[in-house]
């Protein structure tokens, strides 16, 4: 198995759009959720459970259909302090990989057929054909399972990748601001542009985005030595508007500034 280092860089965040969900209803309800992504590195949500599972989990072999994937594509999942990774082989089966960990050491990944992923979390999917549709499949959940994001530290924000466990509805940031979210916590989502991301910051009661200050949009700064004048745009944090959503099937990065873990409710 190949050795792969973990590099969690914002510049490789996913740009994803969910399409219409196909559902089949019987004793249990199953959904096939197409998600499109134009990036090689995508964050996909884990919104669905495995068939007949007693808990809201799904095996690696069942979450992402191998349709439209390419041998060599890789799925990565944060398992406690470590990462697990599986690579698609020439028979279109997920094979475990040996992974070097951020804090040092090497950890073997368990078999895909024996590893369950928790609904409400998310995965990195690395693909060689980023223009193809990703298909997620599984059993819908009557109750949306929560997920715990890691605590921040006194000197840095800690990031956890998560995904709204709902196959049919986008996550509306204008209305979703659960109890326990602290001022300074972040939601990082895909976006076009040089950074490949858009960041929303909590003010303690709502998610905000930076907009131009309507009262004093520009500050005039004069250099006393060169006598040159520079005009600097002033920004303020404004609560996000209705319709600011993360599509179904799309994961995101939650940045925790507070130094306590947070059980997120959906």
- The per-residue pLDDT for 141 is 87
Per-range mean pLDDT, top range of 36-45, 226-235, 237-246: 237-246
For residue 41, CA distances in Å to 37, 74, 103, 107 come to 9, 10, 22, 22
pLDDT given at position 17: 56
Distance CA 139, CA 2 (A): 33
Mean residue pLDDT of the chain comes to 85
User: Is the pLDDT confidence value at 10 over 50?
Assistant: no
The string of pLDDT tens digits covering residues 103-123 is: 677 778 989 999 999 999 999
pLDDT confidence of 9, banded at 50, 70, 90? Answer: very low
In the chain, what are the domain boundaries?
3-183+186-192+246-259
Higher pLDDT, 136 or 193: 136
């Amino acid at each position: 198995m190949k050795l792969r280092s973990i590099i969690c860089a914002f510049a490789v965040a996913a740009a994803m759009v969910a399409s219409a969900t196909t559902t089949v209803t019987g004793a249990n309800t199953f959904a096939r959720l197409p998600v499109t992504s134009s990036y090689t590195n995508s964050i996909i949500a884990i919104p669905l459970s495995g068939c007949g599972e007693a808990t809201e989990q799904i095996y690696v072999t069942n979450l992402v259909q191998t349709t439209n994937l390419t041998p060599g594509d890789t799925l990565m999942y944060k398992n406690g302090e470590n990462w697990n990774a599986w690579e698609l082989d020439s028979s279109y089966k997920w094979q475990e990989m040996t992974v070097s960990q951020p804090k040092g050491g090497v950890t073997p990944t368990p078999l895909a057929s024996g590893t369950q992923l928790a609904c409400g979390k998310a995965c990195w999917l690395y693909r060689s054909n980023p223009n193809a549709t990703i298909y997620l499949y599984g059993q819908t959940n009557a109750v949306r399972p929560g997920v715990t994001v890691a605590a921040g530290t006194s000197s840095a924000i800690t990031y956890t990748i998560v995904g709204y466990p709902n196959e049919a509805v986008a996550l509306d940031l204008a209305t979703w601001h659960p109890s326990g979210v602290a001022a300074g916590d972040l939601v990082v989502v895909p976006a076009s542009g040089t950074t490949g991301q858009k960041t929303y910051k909590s003010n303690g009661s709502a998610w905000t985005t930076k907009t131009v200050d309507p009262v004093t949009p520009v500050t005039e700064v004069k250099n006393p030595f060169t006598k040159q004048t520079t005009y600097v745009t002033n920004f303020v944090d404004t609560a996000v508007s209705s319709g600011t959503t993360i599509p179904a099937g799309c994961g995101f990065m939650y940045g925790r500034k507070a130094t306590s873990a947070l059980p997120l409710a959906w």
